[in-house]
């Protein structure tokens, strides 16, 4: 297994370089270093000297990818791309361009709030959606199943934004049960998490429950299920012992891969609920054309995604002994 | 079965009663939020800079203006805006000198003035907020300098330092800050401007850069650059409480800059303290933790969540103004006259990025003040039969107060005067611009897109700024007629006639026979922009002219403007200070965007206007200055480099428990004047936010019923035979 993991980690390096290259390319197609300087220095009374000074201070006065003025390897290393990308691989994210704050520190301090929402939504959601899907499968071909599916389709047809605004209005404003938005320190934060977690659960309910129901329905008609029933097992035992276990592989494909990314938070939810997580950090950085933060977050996102894929592969072997690392 | 059910109902009732008696459940603030003189507000965007040499944005000055003490400030109540002393003992009068250093009279012609000398005398006895930079050890040496990693092991925030100190604010600190404008590691947005005026600042910038490079070359990159060792020719310490600034020529607007944090005192101890690499690595910098002598100090700076200002125990003390403009006394704005400031002990600013949650929390009483977003306008405000603005019944029942004021801003559509079609000084182009200016009905625009929150503009100067004229005298006669005591926009027929005279009868170029197509450049972000642009197209269509919108992102738009590639564009300007120069310079030839990268985005030039501007900018307010401004506005109205657009009107709401609130769009250090009636707030918050528990009960009952049905069905299924199950599925 370790050989497989090492091989996958080595594969990840060119992928990360590629992602970095693509991010760099896309960012600088839209923004020039001059644009970035203007954005950071403000729109009023910005002199060309101030722009040049800002660029020189941050190394943006050099060529983007290829330095004709340099010699030897310097043609590639004395460039914005090389200077700003290589240190990412040592997890040195540098300082944000907008306020000069240490990006690594920001990531560490914002991971917690993101996780505080994403983790309960993920865990409770997984349990609730799988249970509900199994319940629908249990009552397949009955009125309950039809009502459940209609409810799922209805729920997934509504925009996520509607759940957020509606949830804030109903639970926070009309019923006064929890704060509409905000965040607290330590354990006092729980009051602020109730609503975004609830909204996250409800918003993901329709799509996920229907997806799991489809997976389980595919399993329910297989031979081993018929055999289990022929053995005289109860329906609940058939579902939870056999169908759930065999349905785990497609579930794991979608679930394990997102586990590492839970740290990255949600862009919209965090903005609306005032959660100081990594999602809102990323969206702020995009708005502020803060390339240092955007680059770091994209790098971190792709790295965590790769980690998620490796974990998914490992988890396959745990749930299905027929799968081997080859 | 009956007993458990009865118990359940009793429990629900007890919970309801307990909820009704206790604190609101939805209070987003800390448990002690109801007591004390604490103000609650929000911020949508985290401040980038709190260093007064760099900070310039409105979201930053909300904090810096409460912490720092520049020499001057604006009178809170008087209108028009008037400068009064803050850290200074009086508003300085410049001494004008000719090239030989001989004093000139105050009304001397600007051409003869070689230097203006401002002598600023500051209040003795002002002291800085408690801060570790001033903490000394037993021997009287600074306690927190040259800190190594071991000493900083337990330091993560500024409040982790166990010792603090203070000292008196000295004139040297004001001089130190002026020198910091040129600091090579900082980016002061006003350095370029001040280089033109403060004697020797340009050269000083180069010298500091050399000194900084020398530090770097000696292996001490980033070490403290002690500006006391580097004298600046134009700035001089006279004594402990007096300093002088020597300016090139005459620049009466300089006093307005003295009311901004750019000129607030910074102690060298703070500069030295914050330059330590270990602190920079921990994000403990002057840009993050300001050091001031103002009424408040920033005690919590967590812009990911909240920023907290608390009363500075060392604040020198001021009193609430005793006078104001007519009507202030009737509005209760002089009730606290003469009382010591500040009233509020603590101000909590919570991060609130989205408008909807902010608005709802304001209605719940958790924010003390709010603006009115477009989608909440109808909920907050209604227009009466005679056009008067009133609060809705819902707002009145809550006792919410509405304050309105025209902002010292202008939003306009500019013509690029370098453009071959709409630009230039020819009569043809002028008539084309004028026809468009008449056709675009800004009265309708204000009604549709700003909910009436704006005043159609007749020139660049907004109401409240010297030079603005009200009534018939201020009407743009080229676009409006004065009818029945009010301006009335000229008819579309007049515009069509002008268009024909310009060579485009019926919107067709008479020379080529091609239909006239004009291009609008701007940024378009959402559905609101689309509606606005559709409306604009319709305005042009009234002249049978096609308008093509070239929407792009902000960077490209700015680039087009810089390079002069736009044809028609929309833009705006907020006043830096309440002087007509700050608006009229936007059309000064020397400020041409393409030529000098200045602020004249239209690239307008007019020799007479430019000459008048040079005269006007150095004059004191008076009939002569007014006459020049009138003439300048007349030139602009005739030449039409802009479609004058509108001056936005700001609507602000505040709860009944907020006192002494008066809109002031120029001054920013307003927190110290506000007063809160905390007892009233606590009562009303509790009344407005009683938890509604029946939905919880309903959810429980519904879940129980559903579980019961599911459980019954489950049991039934479990008891079936496999054969029956398969038969049912088929």
Q: Please tell me if the domain spanning B66-285 has the same topology as the one spanning B409-650.
A: no
Give pLDDT, residue A325.
65
| CB A88, CB A300: distance < 8 Å | no
- The minimum CA-CA distance between B134 and chain A, rounded to whole Å, is 25
A185 or B588, which is more confident? B588
Q: What pLDDT band is residue B303 in, cutting at 50, 70 and 90?
A: confident
Per-residue H/E/C for B407-474: CCEEEEEEECCCCCCCCCCCHHHHHHHHHHHHHCCHHHHHHHHCCCCEEECCCCCCCCCCCCCCHHHH
Task: Give the residue from A46, A65, A90 where a domain finishes.
Answer: A90
* One domain for residues A214 and A280: yes
Q: What pLDDT band is residue A142 in, cutting at 50, 70 and 90?
A: confident
- The minimum CA-CA distance between A316 and chain B, rounded to whole Å, is 31
Q: Is residue A310 part of a domain?
A: yes
Superfamily of domain B66-285: Dipeptide-binding Protein; Domain 1 (3.90.76.10)
Question: What are phi and psi for residue A275, nearest 5 degrees?
Answer: -90, 125
Give pLDDT, residue B1.
45
* One domain for residues A143 and A109: yes
**Which residues span the domain enclosing A41?**
2-90
* One domain for residues A219 and A257: yes
Yes or no, beta carbons of A173 and B360 under 8 Å apart: yes
User: Does residue A39 surpass a pLDDT of 50?
Assistant: yes
Q: Is residue A96 part of a domain?
A: no
List the beta bridge partners of residue B136. B142
* CB contact set of B342 (below 8 Å; sequence gap of 6+): B295, B296, B311, B315, B671, B672, B673
Question: What are phi and psi for residue A147, nearest 5 degrees?
Answer: -60, -40
Q: Is residue A260 part of a domain?
A: yes
Q: Is residue A99 part of a domain?
A: no
Lowest-confidence segment of A265-274, A294-303, B29-38, B270-279 by average pLDDT: B29-38
Max mean pLDDT among B23-32, B276-285, B578-587, B707-716 falls in: B578-587
Yes or no, beta carbons of B729 and A54 under 8 Å apart: no
Q: Tell how strand B454-456 and strand B658-659 pair up.
A: unpaired
Question: Distance (Å, rounded) from C-alpha B511 to C-alpha B508?
Answer: 9
Yes or no, beta carbons of A41 and B189 under 8 Å apart: yes
Tell me the mean pLDDT in the region B321-336.
Answer: 94
CATH of the domain at A296: 1.10.3720.10
| CB B676, CB B654: distance < 8 Å | no
Task: Give the residue from A90, A122, A157 where a domain finishes.
Answer: A90
First to last CA, chain B: 40
User: Does residue A43 surpass a pLDDT of 70?
Assistant: no
As given in the structure block, the two tokens for residue B727 are: 């038969």
| pLDDT tens for each residue of B343-396 | 999 999 999 988 899 999 999 999 999 999 888 888 999 887 777 788 999 999
Give pLDDT, residue B108.
86
Yes or no, beta carbons of A141 and B305 under 8 Å apart: no
A108-136 burial code (b ≥16 CB/10 A, e <16): eebbebbbbbbebbbeebeeebbebbbbb
Q: Is residue A236 part of a domain?
A: yes
| pLDDT tens for each residue of B491-542 | 999 999 999 999 999 999 999 999 999 999 988 767 778 888 999 999 999 9
Which residues between 58 and 97 in chain A have a beta carbon less than 8 angstroms from any beta carbon of chain B?
Answer: none
Residue among B159, B354, B599, B717 with most chain A CBs within 10 A, to mutate:
B354
Q: Is A210 exposed, middle or buried (0-12, 13-18, 19+ CB in 10 A)?
A: buried
Question: Is the pTM here over 0.80, yes or no?
Answer: yes
User: Does residue B180 surpass a pLDDT of 60?
Assistant: yes
Find out whether the peptide bond into B342 is cis, omega within 30 degrees of 0: yes
Domain B409-650, CATH number (from 3.40.640.10, 3.10.105.10, 3.30.70.250, 3.30.420.40): 3.10.105.10
Closest chain B residue to A138, measured at CA: B714
Question: Distance (Å, rounded) from C-alpha B613 to C-alpha B582?
Answer: 11
Closest chain B residue to A278, measured at CA: B304
SS3 A133: helix
Considering its fold, how many domains does chain A have in total?
Answer: 2
Closest chain B residue to A231, measured at CA: B722
Q: What is the biggest distance separating any 2 CA atoms in chain B, rounded to whole angstroms?
A: 115
Average pLDDT across chain B, whole number:
91
As given in the structure block, the two tokens for residue B728 are: 């049912």
**CB-based contact, A124 to chain B, within 8 Å:** no
**CB-based contact, A42 to chain B, within 8 Å:** yes
* One domain for residues A283 and A177: yes
As given in the structure block, the two tokens for residue B636 are: 């602009």
* One domain for residues A218 and A283: yes
Lowest-confidence segment of A247-251, B142-146, B701-705 by average pLDDT: A247-251
* One domain for residues A128 and A229: yes
CA B89: distance to chain centroid? 27
Q: Between A39, A138, A180, which is nearest B26 by CB?
A: A180
Percent of chain B with pLDDT over 90: 74
Question: Distance (Å, rounded) from C-alpha B581 to C-alpha B300?
Answer: 38
Polymer length in residues for chain A? 326
The CB-side HSE value for A78 (13 A sphere, CA atoms) comes to 11
Q: Between A48, A99, A272, which is nearest B48 by CB?
A: A99
Yes or no, beta carbons of A102 and B281 under 8 Å apart: yes
Q: Is residue A75 part of a domain?
A: yes
Yes or no, beta carbons of B555 and A31 under 8 Å apart: yes
CA B619: distance to chain centroid? 27
Task: Give the residue from A42, A65, A90 where a domain finishes.
Answer: A90
Give pLDDT, residue A49.
83
Q: How many CB pairs under 8 A join A and B?
A: 161
Give pLDDT, residue B546.
95
Closest chain B residue to A45, measured at CA: B189
Q: Between B192, B366, B691, which is nearest A175 by CB?
A: B691
* One domain for residues A67 and A117: no
* One domain for residues A85 and A134: no
- Which among B64, B270, B240, B256 is positioned nearest to B165, based on CA atoms? B270
CA A111: distance to chain centroid? 12
Q: Between B25, B191, B352, which is nearest A274 by CB?
A: B352
| CB B415, CB B641: distance < 8 Å | yes
Give pLDDT, residue B730.
55
- The minimum CA-CA distance between B577 and chain A, rounded to whole Å, is 13
Polymer length in residues for chain B? 730
A144: which chain B residues are within 8 Å (Cβ-Cβ)?
709-710, 713
User: Does residue B13 surpass a pLDDT of 60?
Assistant: no
Give pLDDT, residue B10.
59
Percent of chain B with pLDDT over 70: 94
SS3 A190: helix
Question: Distance (Å, rounded) from C-alpha B376 to C-alpha B354?
Answer: 13
Q: Is residue A97 part of a domain?
A: no
Give pLDDT, residue B371.
92
| pLDDT tens for each residue of B93-127 | 999 999 999 999 988 888 899 999 999 999 999 99
B187: which chain A residues are within 8 Å (Cβ-Cβ)?
41, 50, 53-54
Rounded to the nearest 5 degrees, what angle is found at the Cα of B67, between the Cα atoms of B63 and B69?
125
Q: Domain boundaries in chain B?
A: 2-25+691-729, 66-285, 409-650
First to last CA, chain A: 9
């Amino acid at each position: 297994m370790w050989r497989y993991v090492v091989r996958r980690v080595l594969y990840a390096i060119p992928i990360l370089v590629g992602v970095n290259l693509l991010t760099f390319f896309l960012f600088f197609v839209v923004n020039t270093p001059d644009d970035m300087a203007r954005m950071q220095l403000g729109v009023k009374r910005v002199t060309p000297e101030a722009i040049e000074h800002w660029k020189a201070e941050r190394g943006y006065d050099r060529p983007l990818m290829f330095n004709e003025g340099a010699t030897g390897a310097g043609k590639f290393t004395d460039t914005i791309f090389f200077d700003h990308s290589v240190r990412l691989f040592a997890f040195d994210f540098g300082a944000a361009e907008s306020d000069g704050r240490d990006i690594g520190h920001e990531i560490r301090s914002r991971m917690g709030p993101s996780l505080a929402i994403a983790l309960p939504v993920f865990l409770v959601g997984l349990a609730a959606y799988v249970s509900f899907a199994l319940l629908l499968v249990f009552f397949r071909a009955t009125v309950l199943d039809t009502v459940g599916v209609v409810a799922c389709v209805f729920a997934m047809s509504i925009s996520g934004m509607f759940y957020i605004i509606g949830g804030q209005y109903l639970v926070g404003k009309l019923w006064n049960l929890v704060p509409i938005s905000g965040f607290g320190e330590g354990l006092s934060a729980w009051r602020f998490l109730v609503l975004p977690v609830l909204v996250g659960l409800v918003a993901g309910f329709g799509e996920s429950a229907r997806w799991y129901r489809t997976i389980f329905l595919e399993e329910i008609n297989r031979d081993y299920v018929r055999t289990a029933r022929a053995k005289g097992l109860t329906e609940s035992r058939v579902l939870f012992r056999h169908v759930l276990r065999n349905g785990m592989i497609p579930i794991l494909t979608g679930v394990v891969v997102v586990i590492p990314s839970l740290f990255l938070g949600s862009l919209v939810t965090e903005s609306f609920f005032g959660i100081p997580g990594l999602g809102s950090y990323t969206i702020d950085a995009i708005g502020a054309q803060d390339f240092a933060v955007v680059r770091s977050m994209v790098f971190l996102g792709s790295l965590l995604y790769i980690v998620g894929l490796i974990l998914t592969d490992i988890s396959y072997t745990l749930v299905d002994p027929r799968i081997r690392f080859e | 079965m009956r007993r458990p059910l009865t118990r359940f109902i009793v429990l629900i009732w007890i919970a309801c009663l307990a909820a009704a008696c206790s604190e609101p459940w939805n209070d987003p603030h800390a448990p002690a939020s109801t007591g004390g003189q604490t103000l609650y507000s929000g911020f949508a965007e985290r401040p980038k800079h709190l260093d007064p040499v760099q900070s310039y944005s409105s979201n930053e000055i909300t904090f810096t203006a409460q912490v720092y003490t520049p020499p001057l400030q604006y009178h809170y109540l008087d209108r028009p805006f008037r400068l009064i002393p803050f850290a200074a003992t009086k508003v300085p009068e410049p001494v004008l000198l000719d090239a030989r250093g001989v004093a000139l009279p105050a009304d001397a012609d600007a051409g003869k003035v070689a230097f203006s000398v401002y002598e600023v005398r500051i209040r003795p006895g002002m002291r800085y907020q408690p801060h570790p930079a001033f903490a000394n050890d037993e021997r009287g040496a600074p306690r927190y300098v040259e800190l190594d990693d071991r000493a900083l092991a337990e330091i993560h925030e500024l409040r982790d330092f166990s010792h603090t100190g203070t000292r008196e604010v000295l004139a040297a600190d004001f001089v130190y800050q002026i020198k910091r404008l040129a600091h090579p590691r900082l980016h002061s947005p006003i350095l370029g401007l001040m280089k033109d005026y403060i004697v020797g600042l340009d050269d000083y910038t180069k010298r500091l850069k050399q000194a900084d490079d020398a530090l770097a070359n000696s292996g001490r990159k980033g070490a403290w650059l002690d500006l006391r060792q580097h004298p600046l020719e134009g700035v001089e310490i006279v004594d402990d409480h007096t300093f002088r600034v020597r300016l090139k020529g005459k620049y009466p607007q300089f006093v307005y800059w003295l009311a901004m944090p750019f000129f607030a005192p910074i102690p060298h101890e703070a500069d030295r303290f914050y330059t330590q690499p270990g602190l920079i690595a921990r994000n403990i910098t002057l840009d993050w933790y300001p050091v001031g002598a103002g009424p408040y100090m920033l005690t919590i700076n967590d812009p990911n969540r909240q920023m907290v200002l608390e009363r500075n125990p060392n604040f020198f003390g001021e009193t609430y103004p005793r006078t104001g403009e007519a009507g202030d006394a009737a509005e209760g704005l002089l009730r606290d006259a003469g009382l010591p400031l500040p009233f509020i002990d603590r101000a909590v600013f919570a991060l609130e990025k989205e408008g909807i949650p902010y608005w709802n929390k304001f209605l719940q009483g958790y924010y003390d003040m709010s603006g009115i977003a477009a989608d909440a306008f109808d909920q907050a405000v209604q227009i009466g039969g005679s056009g008067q603005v009133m609060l809705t019944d819902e707002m009145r029942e809550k006792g919410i107060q509405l304050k309105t004021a025209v902002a010292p801003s202008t939003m306009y559509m500019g013509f690029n005067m370098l453009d071959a079609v709409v630009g230039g000084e020819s009569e043809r182009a002028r008539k084309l611009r004028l026809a468009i200016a008449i056709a675009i009905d800004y009265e309708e625009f204000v009604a549709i897109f700003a909910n009436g929150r704006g005043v159609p503009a007749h020139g660049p100067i907004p109401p409240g700024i010297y030079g603005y004229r009200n009534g018939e005298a201020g009407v743009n006669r080229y676009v409006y007629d004065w009818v029945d005591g009010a301006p009335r926009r000229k008819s579309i027929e007049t515009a069509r006639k002008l268009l024909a005279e310009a060579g485009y009868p019926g919107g067709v170029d008479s020379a080529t026979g091609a239909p006239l197509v004009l291009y609008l450049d701007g940024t378009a972000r959402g559905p609101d922009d689309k509606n606005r642009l559709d409306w604009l197209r319709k305005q042009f269509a009234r002249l049978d002219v096609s308008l093509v919108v070239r929407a792009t992102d902000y960077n490209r738009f700015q680039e087009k403007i810089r390079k002069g590639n736009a044809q028609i564009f929309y833009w705006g300007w907020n006043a830096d200070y309440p002087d007509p120069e700050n608006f009229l310079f936007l059309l000064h030839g020397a400020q041409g965007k393409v030529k000098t990268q200045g602020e004249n985005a239209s690239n307008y030039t007019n020799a007479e206007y430019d000459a008048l501007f040079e005269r006007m900018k150095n004059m004191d307010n008076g009939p002569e200055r007014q006459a020049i401004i009138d003439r300048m506005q007349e030139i602009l109205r005739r030449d039409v480099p802009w479609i004058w657009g509108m001056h936005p009107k700001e609507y602000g709401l505040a709860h009944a428990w907020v006192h002494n609130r008066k809109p002031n769009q120029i001054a920013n250090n307003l927190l110290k004047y506000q007063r809160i009636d905390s007892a009233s707030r606590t009562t009303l918050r509790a009344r407005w936010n009683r938890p509604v528990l029946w939905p919880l009960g309903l959810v429980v009952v519904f879940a129980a019923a559903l579980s019961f049905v599911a459980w019954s069905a489950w049991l039934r299924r479990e008891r079936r035979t496999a054969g029956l199950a398969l038969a049912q599925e088929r």
